[in-house]
Amino acid sequence: MLSPDQLSTILEQTQEVAKKVGAFIRKERQHFDVAKVEHKGFNDLVSYVDKEAERQIVDRLATILPEAGFITEEGTNTTLADVYNWVIDPLDGTTNFIHGIPFFAVSIALMEGNELVLGVVYEVNRHECFYAKRGGGAFCNDTRIKVSTAPDFSASLISTGFPYYNFDLIDRYLNSMKSLMEKTHGLRRMGSAAVDLCYVAAGRTEGFFEYNLNSYDVAAGALIVQEAGGTVTDFSGGGDFIFGRRIVASNGNIHPDFLAVLDDHWKDLS
């Protein structure tokens, strides 16, 4: 198993990987050709930038921890290892990137078995690097971050994502949002779950929820929220938020009320 010192070194190296790949993404955005966009499915977009960014990340991480496997969005490497596995989203917020909306990020997490031990999210446009290691607190650009101290929904701002291909669930989202709009400062939909989670960690919002996300969308950000003092669960309050495709993150204070609202609209969904 990795020692705390080894994990610290790997965290520093992972930040450098995220920043270097972020610089590549930022440069490509300056002359990006929308005609090169591919469709993995309806509204599920990918570009050569996603693929090349992932290749660069995988190649660099393989030299940092050779024994680790990979869970990757674009399938560059899908070899799983027994103990350590990297969980990578090379460009979280691809639709924003394609349309020139400046809100997208590189997301890299490391798992030891089923436990998150390291997370890095680099928001490309604001040059903000959020990061955490297990038991070490959460940081943004070397400044420690903490979740908001807002005591309840009435003082809270909530972020979420919208369905973009499974519209059978749209009424659940709309009803959930209606309930939350009536109880909070409002809702935001920014288009990158990784950054949404980091904004909860930094106290910029009090909560985030979304359904049908993948492990690479949430793994790094979830650890950063936890290390910033927040709470992360699935919709039922359990721990199946990495692979269970349902995640709720908050400052902790609002979590019981948050789960109660979601329970009203999602509890019958298997």
Tell me the per-residue pLDDT of 136-176, one tens digit each, with 9 for 90 and over.
999 999 999 999 999 999 999 999 998 766 678 888 889 99
State how far the Cα of 211 lies from the Cα of 19, in Å rounded to an integer.
28
Phi and psi (nearest 5°) for 118? -155, 140
State how far the Cα of 270 lies from the Cα of 267, in Å rounded to an integer.
8
pLDDT tens-place string over residues 179-200: 999 999 999 999 999 999 999 9
Residue 167: predicted pLDDT? 76
Kind of pairing between the strands at 157-160 and 186-188:
parallel
- DSSP conformational letter for 63: H
Residue 166: predicted pLDDT? 65
State how far the Cα of 132 lies from the Cα of 155, in Å rounded to an integer.
27
The answer on pLDDT for 42 being more than 50 is no
Domains (ranges, CATH) in the chain? 4-144 (3.30.540.10), 153-266 (3.40.190.80)
pLDDT tens-place string over residues 83-138: 999 999 999 998 899 889 999 999 999 999 999 999 999 999 999 999 999 999 99
Q: What's the chain's Rg over C-alpha atoms?
A: 18
State how far the Cα of 107 lies from the Cα of 113, in Å rounded to an integer.
19
The answer on pLDDT for 52 being more than 70 is yes
Q: What residues contact residue 67 under an 8 Å CB cut-off, 6+ apart? A: 81, 83, 84
Q: 3-state DSSP call for residue 200?
A: helix
> How high is the mean pLDDT of the chain?
93
- In angstroms, the Cα distances linking 96 to 25, 206, 214 are 12, 23, 18
Q: What residues contact residue 48 under an 8 Å CB cut-off, 6+ apart? A: 36
The answer on pLDDT for 47 being more than 80 is no
Beta bridge partners of 119: 109, 132
Closest by Cα among 160, 139, 126, 119 to 246: 160
State how far the Cα of 81 lies from the Cα of 113, in Å rounded to an integer.
9
Closest by Cα among 110, 128, 145, 239 to 192: 128
Instruction: Give residue 43's pLDDT band: very low, low, confident or very high (50, 70, 90).
Output: very low
Q: What residues contact residue 13 under an 8 Å CB cut-off, 6+ apart? A: 64
